[in-house]
Amino acid sequence: FPSHAHAYRAAIIHTLEDPAKVGIDASYQYFEDGLLVVENGLIKAVGHAEALLSTLAADTPVTVYNNALITPGFIDTHIHYPQTGMIASYGEQLLDWLNNYTFPEEHKFADKSYADNVAEIFLTELLRNGTTTALVFGTVHPQSVDAFFEAAQSRNVRMIAGKVMMDRNAPDTLTDTPESSYQDSKNLIERWHGKGRLHYAVTPRFAPTSSDEQLTLAGKLLKEYPELYMHTHLSENKQEIEWVKALFPDQNGYLDVYDHFDLLGERSVFAHGVHLCDDECKRLAETDSALAFCPTSNLFLGSGLFDLAKTEQHNIKVGLGTDVGAGTSFSMLQTLNEAYKVMQLQGEKLNPFKSLYLATLGGARALKLEEKIGTLQPGTEADFVILDYHSTPLMTYRMKQATSLEERLFVLMTLGDDRAIKATYAMGKALHTRG
Ligand code: GUN
Ligand code: ZN
């Protein structure tokens, strides 16, 4: 039989469990001289190179990476592909930022060829940054989601996306109706959900831009199809929260609006959750809903500081999100850099092993995909990245002074960006190689 296996030799790390649950030392597996064996797109084995090399067929190719660390591919649990062209827009907080910058850009996605071009740029950028799976907002236009899924399908990457549902409090040219949003979403679900590595997320933009009728139909879609995701925004900005209270006076706060329309659940992901009360945290945990922690966005829009410690106390699933274009980087390393600072401002530490968890297995759990991605366990999909300890002159010099794995990881996450991604693999195929 011809051998389809390929092995990669370098230092290897992956997360086994949340450090908040089992402590740092039991949370990960590390091989200083490791070997990752891939066969038919899946991980066949991971372990010490010396031990594993002797088990390989003699003709198995082995790629050696020096000064490198292999990790699972990064998982971005909240990002807007249509906002690629307006990232780094100056001077506003959430609601004015949406009106002044976001909505004008999202108009352009009525044109399928514009959407096709941005989808290509976006996916290339994700892979350049080591991100192999993302939960992605489209625009209100169904063709924006076709463009995204077509580009994802051609790369065979595991992606989740959906059409924005938005029927009020936005420009007329960007709104749908409850019925059209239901039908357009249904058509996209039939076309894309479960096709290859693609999944659909029912995507009401946020409570202020949906009527009761639209949120009711979003809940109906979730009941009609198995394993659909629900993706929206929650409690990001104080003005936004006051607005939700005024728009939904009968509900008991922001999360309760979504709860009322049956939008909470094990595949529901809420971006931000910066200003949550204890009851809301309890309800998120009870329903196994997830939060996306988006530090660069929360700092850029001046939204506030995400309380990771509180979410740990309440046992809420948390993933990391870039939230581009309110977020300022596609790099999950740079997102962890900012996450660390958000914790510092609250007198808390973010340990680099916890950071690794958030960017990989934590994200996979937030998306209920931990059986498939987020670790390097044999049998899971071979989505992984090669991180370069020598990605810049400064990093090379700094690494010389580093004496422990923890320190090297922290330096990678603090100084690293797209230059630190030597290669990105999905299903065992190199989709990005640097230089
Ligand atoms: N809330 C509603 N829409 C958006 C958006 O596009 N970005 C962010 N950050 N928050 C939102
Ligand atoms: Zn967002």
Q: Per residue in 268-290, pLDDT tens?
A: 999 999 999 999 999 999 999 99
Average pLDDT over residues 258-276: 98
Nearest CA to ligand 1 atom 7: 326
Question: What is the SS3 assignment for 234?
Answer: strand
Residue pair 360/402 in contact (Cβ under 8 Å)? The answer is no
User: For ligand 1, which residues put their CB under 6 angstroms from it?
Assistant: 80, 94, 98, 102, 205-206, 233, 236, 297, 323, 326
Task: State the Cα–Cα distance between residues 185 and 151, nearest whole angstrom.
Answer: 19
Residue pair 194/186 in contact (Cβ under 8 Å)? The answer is no
Residue 1 has pLDDT above 50, yes or no: no
What is the model's pLDDT at position 262?
Answer: 98
Task: State the Cα–Cα distance between residues 341 and 324, nearest whole angstrom.
Answer: 19
Band of pLDDT at residue 219, cut at 50, 70 and 90:
very high
What is the model's pLDDT at position 3?
Answer: 58
> By C-alpha distance, which of 65, 9, 48 is closest to 420?
65
Q: What residues flank ion ligand 2 with Cβ within 5 A?
A: 271, 323
- To test the pocket of ligand 1, the residue of 206, 238, 241, 328 to mutate (highest count of ligand atoms within 8 Å of its CB) is 206
Residue 4 has pLDDT above 90, yes or no: no
What is the model's pLDDT at position 240?
Answer: 98
Question: Measured in angstroms, how far is the CA atom of residue 388 from the centroid of ligand 1?
Answer: 33
Nearest CA to ligand 1 atom 3: 205
Question: Edge-to-edge strands of the sheet including 421-426?
Answer: 42-48, 28-39, 5-15, 62-72, 384-388, 421-426, 429-433
Q: Which ligand is nearest to the CA of 270?
A: 2
Nearest CA to ligand 1 atom 9: 326
- To test the pocket of ligand 1, the residue of 77, 80, 140 to mutate (highest count of ligand atoms within 8 Å of its CB) is 80
Residue 373 has pLDDT above 60, yes or no: yes
pLDDT tens string 316-339: 999 999 999 999 999 999 999 999
Question: Measured in angstroms, how far is the CA atom of residue 107 from the centroid of ligand 1?
Answer: 15
> By C-alpha distance, which of 288, 297, 294 is closest to 268?
288
pLDDT tens string 179-191: 999 999 999 999 9
* CATH 3.20.20.140 placement within the chain: 74-330
Within 40-99, strands assigned E span 42-48, 62-72, 74-80
Buried/exposed code over 139-159 (b: 16+ C-beta within 10 A; e: otherwise): bbbbbbbbbbbbbbeebbbbb
Average pLDDT over residues 76-92: 98
- To test the pocket of ligand 1, the residue of 102, 175, 298, 299 to mutate (highest count of ligand atoms within 8 Å of its CB) is 102
* CATH 2.30.40.10 placement within the chain: 5-73+376-433
Q: Which CATH architecture has domain 74-330?
A: Alpha-Beta Barrel (3.20)
* pTM of structure: 0.98
Q: Which CATH architecture has domain 5-73+376-433?
A: Roll (2.30)
Nearest CA to ligand 1 atom 8: 326
Question: Measured in angstroms, how far is the CA atom of residue 136 from the centroid of ligand 2?
Answer: 9
> By C-alpha distance, which of 39, 132, 35 is closest to 383?
132
pLDDT tens string 292-310: 999 999 999 999 999 999 9
